[in-house]
Amino acid sequence: MNECQTYPSPFRKHKQGTQPDHLHAGYVSSMKRAPLQPLVTITPTLSELTGPLFGRDEIVAGECNMTRSANGGEAQGQRIAVSGRLLDEGGAPIRNTLLEVWQANAAGRYLHKWDQHDAPLDPNFSGEGHVLTDDLGRYSFVTVQPGSYPWGNHHNAWRPAHIHFSVFGPAVCTRLVTQMYFPGDPLLPFDPIYNCTADSAARERLISRFDWNTTIPQSTLGFVFDIHLRGRYATPMEEGHDDH
Ligand SMILES: [Fe+2]
Protein backbone atom coordinates (compact mmCIF):
# COMPACT_ATOMS: atom_id res chain seq x y z
CA MET A 1 0.00 0.00 0.00
CA ASN A 2 2.93 2.33 0.43
CA GLU A 3 4.21 1.73 -3.06
CA CYS A 4 2.99 3.61 -6.06
CA GLN A 5 3.61 1.28 -8.91
CA THR A 6 1.25 1.13 -11.80
CA TYR A 7 3.28 -1.49 -13.62
CA PRO A 8 4.54 -3.96 -12.75
CA SER A 9 1.98 -4.78 -10.19
CA PRO A 10 2.78 -4.87 -6.49
CA PHE A 11 1.30 -8.36 -6.79
CA ARG A 12 3.98 -9.55 -9.17
CA LYS A 13 5.51 -11.64 -6.42
CA HIS A 14 2.30 -13.51 -5.83
CA LYS A 15 1.96 -17.10 -6.82
CA GLN A 16 1.06 -17.36 -10.47
CA GLY A 17 -2.65 -17.41 -11.12
CA THR A 18 -3.69 -15.91 -7.80
CA GLN A 19 -4.29 -12.44 -9.28
CA PRO A 20 -6.44 -11.56 -12.31
CA ASP A 21 -4.76 -11.85 -15.68
CA HIS A 22 -4.33 -8.61 -17.60
CA LEU A 23 -5.62 -10.38 -20.65
CA HIS A 24 -8.40 -12.90 -20.32
CA ALA A 25 -9.94 -14.05 -23.58
CA GLY A 26 -13.40 -14.46 -22.10
CA TYR A 27 -13.40 -10.87 -20.78
CA VAL A 28 -13.64 -9.17 -24.15
CA SER A 29 -12.66 -5.62 -23.20
CA SER A 30 -9.47 -6.90 -21.58
CA MET A 31 -8.32 -7.88 -25.08
CA LYS A 32 -8.24 -4.20 -26.05
CA ARG A 33 -6.60 -2.78 -22.96
CA ALA A 34 -4.18 -5.44 -21.78
CA PRO A 35 -0.56 -4.30 -22.22
CA LEU A 36 1.24 -5.99 -25.11
CA GLN A 37 4.69 -4.63 -24.24
CA PRO A 38 6.85 -5.43 -21.23
CA LEU A 39 5.67 -3.59 -18.14
CA VAL A 40 7.47 -0.47 -16.99
CA THR A 41 7.92 0.67 -13.42
CA ILE A 42 6.68 4.20 -12.83
CA THR A 43 8.52 5.94 -10.04
CA PRO A 44 6.16 7.99 -7.91
CA THR A 45 6.79 11.63 -7.28
CA LEU A 46 6.93 13.00 -3.77
CA SER A 47 3.64 14.79 -4.23
CA GLU A 48 1.97 11.59 -5.33
CA LEU A 49 3.04 9.87 -2.17
CA THR A 50 2.33 12.71 0.21
CA GLY A 51 -0.99 13.96 -1.06
CA PRO A 52 -3.73 14.62 -1.49
CA LEU A 53 -5.14 13.18 1.63
CA PHE A 54 -8.69 11.93 1.63
CA GLY A 55 -10.17 13.98 4.38
CA ARG A 56 -10.53 11.12 6.80
CA ASP A 57 -11.42 13.64 9.48
CA GLU A 58 -14.66 14.23 7.63
CA ILE A 59 -15.61 10.58 7.72
CA VAL A 60 -17.06 9.28 10.92
CA ALA A 61 -15.70 5.87 11.80
CA GLY A 62 -18.33 3.24 12.26
CA GLU A 63 -21.23 2.03 10.23
CA CYS A 64 -22.23 3.18 6.81
CA ASN A 65 -25.89 2.73 5.98
CA MET A 66 -26.61 2.86 2.26
CA THR A 67 -30.27 1.88 2.63
CA ARG A 68 -31.38 5.37 3.70
CA SER A 69 -31.43 8.30 1.34
CA ALA A 70 -30.67 11.86 2.41
CA ASN A 71 -34.39 12.60 2.62
CA GLY A 72 -35.04 9.60 4.82
CA GLY A 73 -36.46 7.33 2.15
CA GLU A 74 -35.75 3.64 2.31
CA ALA A 75 -34.11 1.68 -0.49
CA GLN A 76 -35.93 -1.25 -2.06
CA GLY A 77 -34.57 -4.74 -1.66
CA GLN A 78 -33.21 -7.31 0.77
CA ARG A 79 -31.15 -5.53 3.41
CA ILE A 80 -27.72 -6.98 4.01
CA ALA A 81 -24.91 -6.13 6.43
CA VAL A 82 -21.43 -6.58 4.99
CA SER A 83 -18.51 -6.63 7.38
CA GLY A 84 -14.97 -7.88 7.56
CA ARG A 85 -11.40 -6.96 8.26
CA LEU A 86 -8.62 -5.39 6.25
CA LEU A 87 -5.44 -7.35 6.96
CA ASP A 88 -1.82 -7.59 5.90
CA GLU A 89 0.08 -10.77 5.07
CA GLY A 90 0.63 -11.57 8.73
CA GLY A 91 -3.01 -11.12 9.67
CA ALA A 92 -2.34 -7.77 11.34
CA PRO A 93 -5.10 -5.17 11.02
CA ILE A 94 -4.74 -2.24 8.66
CA ARG A 95 -6.23 0.61 10.58
CA ASN A 96 -7.88 3.90 9.70
CA THR A 97 -8.10 3.05 6.03
CA LEU A 98 -10.74 4.34 3.69
CA LEU A 99 -12.87 1.78 1.90
CA GLU A 100 -15.23 2.89 -0.82
CA VAL A 101 -17.95 0.62 -2.13
CA TRP A 102 -20.31 0.90 -5.06
CA GLN A 103 -22.92 -1.41 -6.48
CA ALA A 104 -26.06 -1.83 -8.55
CA ASN A 105 -29.43 -1.53 -6.87
CA ALA A 106 -31.72 -4.44 -6.06
CA ALA A 107 -32.94 -4.49 -9.66
CA GLY A 108 -29.41 -4.68 -11.01
CA ARG A 109 -29.08 -1.10 -12.21
CA TYR A 110 -26.42 1.50 -11.45
CA LEU A 111 -27.22 5.14 -10.93
CA HIS A 112 -24.95 6.09 -13.82
CA LYS A 113 -25.62 7.60 -17.24
CA TRP A 114 -23.89 4.69 -18.94
CA ASP A 115 -26.26 2.19 -17.41
CA GLN A 116 -29.44 2.43 -19.46
CA HIS A 117 -30.61 -1.15 -19.36
CA ASP A 118 -34.26 -1.94 -18.77
CA ALA A 119 -34.41 -2.07 -14.98
CA PRO A 120 -35.78 0.54 -12.58
CA LEU A 121 -33.70 3.07 -10.70
CA ASP A 122 -34.37 3.42 -7.00
CA PRO A 123 -34.74 7.07 -5.93
CA ASN A 124 -33.65 6.11 -2.43
CA PHE A 125 -30.50 4.25 -3.37
CA SER A 126 -27.32 5.81 -4.73
CA GLY A 127 -25.27 2.60 -4.57
CA GLU A 128 -22.25 4.39 -3.08
CA GLY A 129 -20.77 4.28 0.37
CA HIS A 130 -17.56 4.75 2.29
CA VAL A 131 -16.28 3.61 5.63
CA LEU A 132 -13.07 3.67 7.65
CA THR A 133 -11.50 0.62 9.22
CA ASP A 134 -11.16 0.77 13.00
CA ASP A 135 -8.20 -0.11 15.20
CA LEU A 136 -8.77 -3.80 14.56
CA GLY A 137 -9.02 -3.30 10.82
CA ARG A 138 -12.78 -3.87 10.92
CA TYR A 139 -15.36 -2.29 8.68
CA SER A 140 -19.08 -2.72 8.23
CA PHE A 141 -21.85 -1.26 6.16
CA VAL A 142 -25.51 -1.91 5.54
CA THR A 143 -26.88 -1.97 2.04
CA VAL A 144 -29.28 -3.95 -0.14
CA GLN A 145 -28.53 -7.13 -2.01
CA PRO A 146 -27.40 -6.01 -5.47
CA GLY A 147 -29.16 -7.52 -8.45
CA SER A 148 -27.48 -9.28 -11.34
CA TYR A 149 -27.33 -7.28 -14.55
CA PRO A 150 -26.76 -7.88 -18.25
CA TRP A 151 -23.65 -6.57 -19.97
CA GLY A 152 -22.31 -6.54 -23.47
CA ASN A 153 -19.40 -8.92 -23.17
CA HIS A 154 -21.09 -11.63 -25.24
CA HIS A 155 -24.57 -12.86 -26.10
CA ASN A 156 -26.79 -13.20 -23.03
CA ALA A 157 -23.99 -12.13 -20.66
CA TRP A 158 -24.96 -11.46 -17.03
CA ARG A 159 -22.78 -10.35 -14.15
CA PRO A 160 -23.21 -12.24 -10.89
CA ALA A 161 -24.30 -10.04 -7.98
CA HIS A 162 -21.30 -8.15 -6.65
CA ILE A 163 -20.11 -5.15 -4.69
CA HIS A 164 -17.08 -3.17 -5.85
CA PHE A 165 -14.50 -2.29 -3.18
CA SER A 166 -11.75 0.31 -3.33
CA VAL A 167 -9.08 0.34 -0.63
CA PHE A 168 -7.23 3.63 -0.41
CA GLY A 169 -3.69 3.94 0.83
CA PRO A 170 -2.26 7.28 1.88
CA ALA A 171 -2.36 8.83 -1.61
CA VAL A 172 -4.31 8.75 -4.84
CA CYS A 173 -1.90 6.35 -6.49
CA THR A 174 -2.14 3.81 -3.69
CA ARG A 175 -5.52 2.39 -4.48
CA LEU A 176 -6.59 -1.22 -4.81
CA VAL A 177 -9.87 -2.33 -6.34
CA THR A 178 -11.69 -5.63 -6.15
CA GLN A 179 -15.17 -7.14 -6.25
CA MET A 180 -17.02 -9.11 -3.61
CA TYR A 181 -19.41 -11.84 -4.69
CA PHE A 182 -22.10 -13.84 -2.91
CA PRO A 183 -22.05 -17.52 -2.04
CA GLY A 184 -24.06 -19.83 -4.25
CA ASP A 185 -24.52 -17.39 -7.11
CA PRO A 186 -25.35 -19.53 -10.17
CA LEU A 187 -23.72 -16.98 -12.50
CA LEU A 188 -20.25 -17.24 -10.99
CA PRO A 189 -18.98 -20.15 -13.13
CA PHE A 190 -19.89 -18.19 -16.27
CA ASP A 191 -18.50 -14.79 -15.32
CA PRO A 192 -15.39 -13.80 -17.29
CA ILE A 193 -14.31 -11.20 -14.73
CA TYR A 194 -14.55 -13.60 -11.80
CA ASN A 195 -12.70 -16.19 -13.88
CA CYS A 196 -9.84 -13.82 -14.73
CA THR A 197 -8.15 -15.23 -11.64
CA ALA A 198 -6.95 -18.66 -12.67
CA ASP A 199 -6.19 -20.08 -9.23
CA SER A 200 -9.47 -21.47 -7.90
CA ALA A 201 -8.57 -21.04 -4.23
CA ALA A 202 -7.62 -17.39 -4.79
CA ARG A 203 -10.74 -16.84 -6.86
CA GLU A 204 -12.97 -18.19 -4.11
CA ARG A 205 -11.54 -15.61 -1.73
CA LEU A 206 -13.62 -13.10 -3.68
CA ILE A 207 -16.81 -14.76 -2.41
CA SER A 208 -18.21 -13.50 0.87
CA ARG A 209 -19.67 -15.93 3.35
CA PHE A 210 -23.09 -15.85 4.93
CA ASP A 211 -22.83 -15.13 8.65
CA TRP A 212 -25.44 -15.72 11.32
CA ASN A 213 -23.51 -13.62 13.86
CA THR A 214 -24.05 -10.45 11.86
CA THR A 215 -27.52 -11.32 10.65
CA ILE A 216 -30.05 -9.05 12.35
CA PRO A 217 -33.32 -10.79 13.23
CA GLN A 218 -36.36 -9.59 11.29
CA SER A 219 -34.23 -7.21 9.28
CA THR A 220 -30.89 -7.91 7.68
CA LEU A 221 -28.80 -10.81 6.37
CA GLY A 222 -25.11 -10.79 7.30
CA PHE A 223 -22.17 -11.45 4.99
CA VAL A 224 -18.47 -11.39 5.87
CA PHE A 225 -15.72 -10.40 3.46
CA ASP A 226 -12.15 -10.09 4.70
CA ILE A 227 -9.58 -8.37 2.48
CA HIS A 228 -5.96 -9.51 2.62
CA LEU A 229 -3.58 -7.15 0.89
CA ARG A 230 -0.62 -9.49 0.59
CA GLY A 231 0.58 -12.96 1.41
CA ARG A 232 -0.67 -16.42 0.65
CA TYR A 233 -4.27 -15.42 1.31
CA ALA A 234 -4.10 -12.20 -0.69
CA THR A 235 -7.36 -11.04 -2.17
CA PRO A 236 -7.24 -10.84 -5.99
CA MET A 237 -7.16 -7.18 -7.06
CA GLU A 238 -7.95 -5.59 -10.39
CA GLU A 239 -5.24 -3.57 -12.02
CA GLY A 240 -7.00 -2.23 -15.05
CA HIS A 241 -9.95 0.08 -15.09
CA ASP A 242 -13.11 -1.88 -14.59
CA ASP A 243 -16.36 -0.69 -16.05
CA HIS A 244 -18.55 -3.45 -14.71
FE1 LIG B 1 -20.38 -3.88 -11.28
pLDDT at site 175 = 85
Query: Residue 76 belongs to what domain range?
Result: 30-228
Ligand 1 centroid–CA 52 distance in Å is: 27
- Rg of the chain's alpha carbons, rounded to an integer? 18
Catalytic residue among 14, 85, 109, 159: 159
Is residue 89 domain-resident?
Answer: yes
Is residue 75 domain-resident?
Answer: yes
Ligand 1 centroid–CA 121 distance in Å is: 15
Is residue 161 domain-resident?
Answer: yes
pLDDT at site 23 = 87
What confidence tier does 19 reach under pLDDT thresholds 50, 70, 90? confident
What confidence tier does 143 reach under pLDDT thresholds 50, 70, 90? very high
> Which of 220, 225, 184, 226 minimizes the C-alpha distance to 81?
220
Bridge partner list, 151 = 157
Q: What's the average model confidence in pLDDT over 212-231? A: 96
pLDDT at site 57 = 63
Tens digits of per-residue pLDDT, 193-217? 999 999 999 999 999 999 999 999 9
Q: What's the average model confidence in pLDDT over 222-234? A: 94
Is residue 18 domain-resident?
Answer: no
**Segments of the chain assigned E as strands:** 64-65, 79-87, 98-102, 128-132, 138-144, 149-151, 157-159, 162-168, 175-181, 209-210, 221-224, 227-228
Is residue 14 domain-resident?
Answer: no
Tens digits of per-residue pLDDT, 24-63? 889 998 888 888 888 887 777 776 666 656 556 667 666 6
Q: What's the whole-model pTM score?
A: 0.87
pLDDT at site 3 = 33
Is residue 96 domain-resident?
Answer: yes
CATH number where 177 lies: 2.60.130.10
User: Ligand 1 being an ion, which residues bring their Cβ within 5 A of it?
Assistant: 244
Ligand 1 centroid–CA 103 distance in Å is: 6
pLDDT at site 9 = 44
> Which of 139, 41, 28, 42 minimizes the C-alpha distance to 86?
139
Domain count of the chain?
1
Is residue 1 domain-resident?
Answer: no
In degrees and rounded to multiples of 5, residue 42 shows phi and psi of -105, 120
pLDDT at site 235 = 94
In degrees and rounded to multiples of 5, residue 31 shows phi and psi of -65, -30
Asked if residue 70 has pLDDT above 70, the reply is: yes
Is 149 tagged catalytic? Answer: yes
Catalytic residue among 14, 85, 110, 244: 110
Q: What's the average model confidence in pLDDT over 81-92? A: 95
